[in-house]
Amino acid sequence: MASFTLHGIAVSQGIAIGRAHLLAAAALDVKHYLIADDQVEAEIARLKSAIKSVHQELQTIRNELPKDAPPELGAFIDVHSLILSDPMLSEVPLNIIRHRYYNAEWALVTQIDELSAQFDEIEDPYLRERKADIQQVGDRVLKILTGTAVNLPEVGDSGATANIIVVAHDISPADMLQFRDGAFGGFVTDLGGPNSHTAIVARSLDIPAAVGMHNASEMVKQDDLLIIDGDAGVVIVDPSPLVLAQYRARQDRLLRERKKLSRLKKTPAITQDGGYIALLANIELPGDAPAALDAGAVGIGLFRSEFMFMGRAGHLERFPSEDEQFESYKKTLVAMKGRPVTIRTLDVGADKPLDEDEQTALNPALGLRAIRYCLSEPQMFLTQLRAILRASAYGPIKLLVPMLAHAFEIDQTLSMIEQAKQQLRERKQKFDEEIPVGAMIEIPAAALALPMFIKRLDFLSIGTNDLIQYTLAIDRVDHEVAHLYDPLHPAVLFLLSSVIGQGRKAGIPVSVCGEMAGDTKWTRLLLGMGLQEFSMHPAQLLSVKYEILNSDLRLLEPQVKKVLRATEPAAVTAGMAQLQALVSEPEVREVKVASARKR
């Protein structure tokens, strides 16, 4: 068979080489037929039984989750259980059977398609990709109804399955438990994006993966030899002997470099000229904290609190209670063993509806979201503030507020924090009276009016994803304009350097917690701008640390100034190339590691 290449989205780095094992989606071959009136109750009972079986199946998987399993797996299985309990999935298909006389499979697929269409309208990329969870839950129910099941090869004692690459239309976090312990080399899916659960779990398991391949499950045949280039998001089917040899050599080199990188976990991130850089982690759940510590993070630079507020359709209360939130924040602090934790207040709104029946704004990205939403729900906001403040009695917390743009928003937020403090004083509950309060700088107006932020707040955190998106008026997940999303646009570089420079001049800490912080392409650029705090996914931390250990600020700063002065794309690109060339990229040098430890 002739070799060919498939292109998708790179979500988990590395090289995987192995034989394809195809997983068929149950929804792809569902029978559609109408039932008689006297068959309705039997069909309803069949669907209810299938849903109950999946509930039990998920609970069993959750209970038997190994202690060393990535925390994301347990959290995602919980999300799937909540989705299964939602009336939109557990009740509406039953009504479709009653009123339209569809068979159980057809009724379920009809409702899944309807919910998927609703999620397609959501602007936020993370939430839009949550439709995959609904489809995965539905697929599990369909497999019970149709008598099919996930059929993965047995993992033998010899570890022979390590060269198997799973190819599927999509795969659920629960099924991904079978990827543990290096049993499988990697996986390829038709669906998914950089924020899909598939991608997140792939990174946490450190398995090479490529998603968003569209029709890979149709084009790849069982036992085809595959190469996954996780860095490029490319899958090579039936490679030539020469290409295979090149990738095997590259795979061996990456494994050697990764082993050497792991030696840097306890090494301080110090540049060659003695500058200390703080490397922190972005997390979404308390269970993520151990992975941050294991990667060598000196703290949490971004705790995305909104994940506690989502998927609550089966709960009596619309929002999590104060005690529920407090326990979550406290658990994170305890897990971080005295290291600082930056908690971002609720970042949802028009593009991240908490309820299915909420109306989507005409332009969600510019609508009632983040702090605007919180200020419109004062009791909910006060509840979260009290929970965060109470947790501050158990360790160092920094309170981060997203999407601030106006002085009155800052003042109103600070007033509500003071109100929450007073409520706790009246209850005689302990908290950190001097808890630092900071702002996400993600709107160009905030970056351009920074003095009013510096005057009122204790620290700043740049959200590069939204800052770039708003500066360039580009939705980077819209394939029609995604090519225009450019971190090196002169306007973006100006805003970044301006915020970092003004913060340093005023003596106020500035961090970057967007994707630029974890991408080694931008490490030297940000260092040369004067950035001293980077916050990223734990899996990215060691690679960034390596860049820092091999950087000299005395060389970087003059070259970055040249890049910032450039106004033409070609000049910016040439300046970046010279910046990268200032420091070679050999293997990790033990001499540098040793000298960094001495410092």
pLDDT digits (tens, 9 = 90+) for 243-280: 999 999 999 998 888 888 889 999 999 999 999 999 99
Tokens found for residue 525: 């650029």
pLDDT at 313 over 80: no
Q: Which residue type occupies 578?
A: Q
pLDDT computed for residue 248 by the predictor = 94
Active site residue 197: yes
Residue-level pLDDT at 2: 81
Between these two residues, 394 and 67, which has the higher pLDDT value?
Answer: 394
Give me the mean pLDDT over the 324-349 stretch: 94
Examine the pLDDT at 202 and tell me if it is beyond 60. Answer: yes
- Superfamily name with CATH number, domain 4-24+158-259: Phosphohistidine domain (3.50.30.10)
Which residue do the tokens 């029709």 mark?
215
What are the CA-CA distances from residue 338 to residues 287, 288, 331, 343 (Å)? 16, 16, 12, 15
Beta-sheet strand order (sheet of 234-237): 4-7, 234-237, 225-229, 15-23, 164-168, 186-189, 209-211, 9-12
Higher pLDDT, 316 or 402: 402
Residue in 137, 469, 435 with CA at minimum distance from that of residue 313: 137
Which one has a higher pLDDT value, 78 or 26? Answer: 78
> Residue 568 pLDDT more than 70?
yes
pLDDT given at position 180: 53
Of 137-146, 363-372, 564-573, the range with the highest mean pLDDT is: 564-573
Q: What is the mean pLDDT of the chain?
A: 85
User: pLDDT value at position 552?
Assistant: 95
- Angle, CA of 153, 154 and 159, to the nearest 5°: 105
What number of CA atoms fall less than 13 Å from residue 266's CA on the CB side? 4
The residue type of 599 is R
Q: How crowded is the C-beta side of 380, counted as CA atoms within 13 Å?
A: 20
Q: Annotated catalytic residue: which of 80, 169, 513, 537? A: 513
Query: What average pLDDT score do residues 479-497 get?
Result: 86
Q: How many residues does the chain have?
A: 599
374 catalytic, yes or no? no
Which pLDDT value is given to residue 364?
Answer: 64
What is the rounded average pLDDT of the residues 274-296?
92
Cβ 559 vs Cβ 576: under 8 Å? no
Where do the domains of the chain lie?
A: 4-24+158-259, 33-146, 263-598
Give the type of residue at 225: L
| Confidence at residue 78, expressed as pLDDT on a 0 to 100 scale | 81
pLDDT exceeds 70 at position 316: no
Structural tokens at position 542:
């060691």
Q: What is the pLDDT of residues 48-77, one digit of tens each?
A: 999 999 888 888 877 777 666 666 667 778
- C-alpha 244/C-alpha 535 separation (Å) is 36
Among 58-67, 385-394, 425-434, which is the least confidently predicted range? Answer: 58-67
pLDDT at 309 over 50: yes
Most confident of 149-158, 317-326, 489-498, 580-589: 489-498
Name, of 354-358, 368-372, 459-463, the range with top average pLDDT. 459-463
How far is CA 5 from its chain centroid?
A: 27
Fold type of domain 33-146 = Enzyme I; Chain A, domain 2 (1.10.274)
Instruction: Supply the pTM of this predicted model.
Output: 0.69
For the ranges 170-174, 317-321, 405-409, the lowest mean pLDDT is seen at 170-174
Instruction: Report which of residues 456 and 112 the model is more confident about.
Output: 456
pLDDT band for position 452 (50/70/90)? very high
Of 286-295, 345-354, 514-523, the range with the lowest mean pLDDT is 345-354
Question: In degrees rounded to 5, what are phi and psi of residue 277?
Answer: -120, 130
CA–CA gap between residue 70 and residue 74 (Å, rounded): 8
Please choose, from the candidates 171, 138, 164, the residue with its C-alpha nearest in 3D space to the C-alpha of residue 51. Answer: 138
Q: Is residue 134 within 8 Å of residue 201, measured between CB atoms?
A: no
* CA 17 to the chain's CA centroid: 26
Query: 437-447 pLDDT, tens per residue?
Result: 999 999 999 99
Q: What is the pLDDT of residue 593?
A: 45
Residue 311 CB coordination number (10 Å): 19
Q: What percent of the chain has pLDDT over 70?
A: 83
pLDDT, tens only, 81-98: 888 888 888 899 999 999
- Parallel, antiparallel, or unpaired for β 9-12 and 209-211? antiparallel
pLDDT in tens, 3-38: 999 998 888 878 999 988 887 665 555 778 889 999
pLDDT digits (tens, 9 = 90+) for 211-251: 888 889 889 998 899 999 988 889 999 999 999 999 999 99
Residues 80, 197, 374, 537: which is the catalytic one? 197
Percent of the chain with pLDDT over 90: 52
Q: What radius of gyration, in Å, describes the C-alpha atoms of the chain?
A: 25
- Per CATH, the number for 263-598 is 3.20.20.60
